[in-house]
Amino acid sequence: MGSDKIKEGEEMSNDIVNKEEESKDLNTWIASHQSTHLSEVFSAENLPSVKSFGGKTFSENAALAEAAILNCTETERIWNRSHSQWTWRHINLSYAAPMKNLRQVSAEVSSKREALEEAKWNYLKTQAKIEIKKAQVKKEKDPNKLRLLEIELAQMIQSSAAGMKYVEGAMKDVITLSELYSQLKAPYEGYTEEDFEKEEAKSHLKRSLVQCLRDIRQSGRITKGEQEYLEQIGVNPGKIFHDMMRYLAHEESNADYTVTSMYEFLDQMCDKLLDQLHVDDVRMSLQGLDGGILKEALFKNES
């Protein structure tokens, strides 16, 4: 069944490609669907004689504006994605916990997939509308209505072609995110929703600790909001403050400019607070709750 769907998708893609011109370069394909230019439109009728800025006519400035646009489009396919690969890695995946970053990547791919699905159906609908418009052009006898239909047809074709740049950008993002996903999931091959639930305490503790360290570096104390976050996890902010001060003193004397020592500190704190002291389970018991995982509410991979 799955292979049949893939085959159908491939056939659909091939049908779409076959309907377009033979050129396989996106820029060339888009340019071929933009036959009506600014300079052509604004050179019509009486516009060539209309005075404009810079001591030039309206049509002369239209030609200059078109040249300026073309000058700036030569690299636009570099910027047509949501984020650069560097930004995806260093800025967007900001959790100190790999599995949390894995979840982030998965969510981003899901969002991009939905956007590409919508773009796919919009493209197919637009192509169908173009064919309907072409049929209307062939049948129209009134020269004024015919002119309007031809303009609408040209606009539809150009808009459809121009939108492909953004589809291409989304494809870049998906391919990049897929590679990041593969790298992140390597240590967790075969992970389940239960594994993710078990890692949540460490993920939140690490995030809270990082934010608390930033607070102390900035003001010498942990802010009220971060204290609350620690307490929600089950950690006493007053006690952890002293651990952080000792770490920051070590950090200040350390010649290492990387974040290696901070990540080591986070792992040590997780081991101490969660694996040894079980602070999260203690907090749950104080509130009359079971800290265990309700397995009946988890998705299970069927082997």
**DSSP classification of residue 57:** B
At 302 the pLDDT is 66
Q: What is the mean pLDDT of residues 132-141?
A: 94
User: To 10 degrees, the CA torsion angle through 137, 138, 144, 150?
Assistant: 30
Q: How far apart are CA 86 and CA 172, in angstroms?
A: 13
Long-range contacts of 206-209 (CB under 8 A, 24+ apart): 206/95, 206/96, 206/97, 206/266, 206/269, 206/270, 207/95, 207/96, 207/97, 207/100, 208/233, 208/235, 209/240, 209/244, 209/265, 209/266, 209/269
Tens-place pLDDT, residues 260-276? 999 999 999 999 999 99
At 176 the pLDDT is 93
Residues in the chain: 303
Count the Cβ atoms, other than its own, within 10 Å of residue 237.
Answer: 18
At 175 the pLDDT is 93
At 44 the pLDDT is 61
pLDDT for residue 18 is more than 60: no
Tens-place pLDDT, residues 151-195? 999 999 888 888 888 898 999 999 999 999 999 988 888 888 888
Q: What is the mean pLDDT of residues 50-75?
A: 82
At 1 the pLDDT is 46
Q: What is the mean pLDDT of residues 100-124?
A: 92
Domain boundaries, the chain: 26-74, 82-190, 193-297
Burial class of residue 171 (count of CB atoms within 10 Å of its CB; 0-12, 13-18, 19+): middle
At 30 the pLDDT is 60
Q: What is the mean pLDDT of residues 49-69?
A: 83
Q: How far apart are CA 266 and CA 274, in angstroms?
A: 11
Q: What is the mean pLDDT of residues 8-20?
A: 48
Residue pair 196/225 in contact by the 8 Å Cβ criterion: no
Question: What percent of the chain is modeled with pLDDT above 90?
Answer: 51
Tens-place pLDDT, residues 224-243? 999 999 999 999 999 999 99
Q: How far apart are CA 97 and CA 263, in angstroms?
A: 10
The listed range with the strongest mean pLDDT (20-29, 34-43, 265-274) is 265-274
Q: How far apart are CA 14 and CA 288, in angstroms?
A: 60
**DSSP secondary structure string for all residues of 153-199:** HHHHHHHHHHHHHHHHHHHHHHHHHHHHHHHHHGGGTT--HHHHHHH
pLDDT for residue 46 is more than 70: no
Count the Cβ atoms, other than its own, within 10 Å of residue 152.
Answer: 15
Give 33's pLDDT tier (boundaries 50, 70, 90).
Answer: low
Give 149's pLDDT tier (boundaries 50, 70, 90).
Answer: very high
User: What per-residue string of b and e applies to 246-257 under the rule 16 or more CB within 10 Å gives b?
Assistant: ebbeebeeeeee
Tens-place pLDDT, residues 209-220? 999 999 999 999
Tens-place pLDDT, residues 168-177? 899 999 999 9
Give every CB contact of residue 181 below 8 A, 6+ residues apart in sequence.
102, 105, 106, 109
Residue pair 217/281 in contact by the 8 Å Cβ criterion: no
